[in-house]
Amino acid sequence: MVRHTSGLKTLSGTTPVELWKVTIGRSARIAKIMINNPDTSDHIVYLGSYDGTTFTQLLPGIKVLAGQTITLSEDEIPSEKIYSTSTSQLSWAGKLDSAVASSNVEVNIEVEEQ
């Protein structure tokens, strides 16, 4: 098992943003989620698999109030894994319930690949 962090990514609306591309031949699950919402509106962050075209929500939506920063540990996150193969490379991705009003939502995930 190897742990990686995605680095800080910004979400601005309903278009999926790649957070972590899973290495071909491996699976990955999210072990930690950090979200900062500096926007003036509350948002729901959706996390799931993404193949560059199709986003599939895998975790329950995470409501983040305007101005709130939250961190979820692996004990608080459902244990969903995504798998990448040579014919289907997937990524963990995130998107919002709606467009931001003034400031992008920031997301950083820690993944465990095996």
Q: Going from the N-terminus, what domains does the chain have, and what CATH number goes with each?
A: 2-113 (2.60.120)
The predicted-structure confidence for 59-109, as pLDDT tens digits, reads as follows 999 999 999 999 999 999 998 999 998 888 999 999 999 999 999 999 999
Is residue 28 a contact partner of residue 110, using CB atoms and an 8 Å limit? no
pLDDT at 40 over 90: yes
pLDDT at 112 over 90: yes
pLDDT, greater one: 1 or 74: 74
Please tell me the pTM assigned to this model.
Answer: 0.94
**What integer pLDDT is reported at residue 86 of this predicted model?**
83
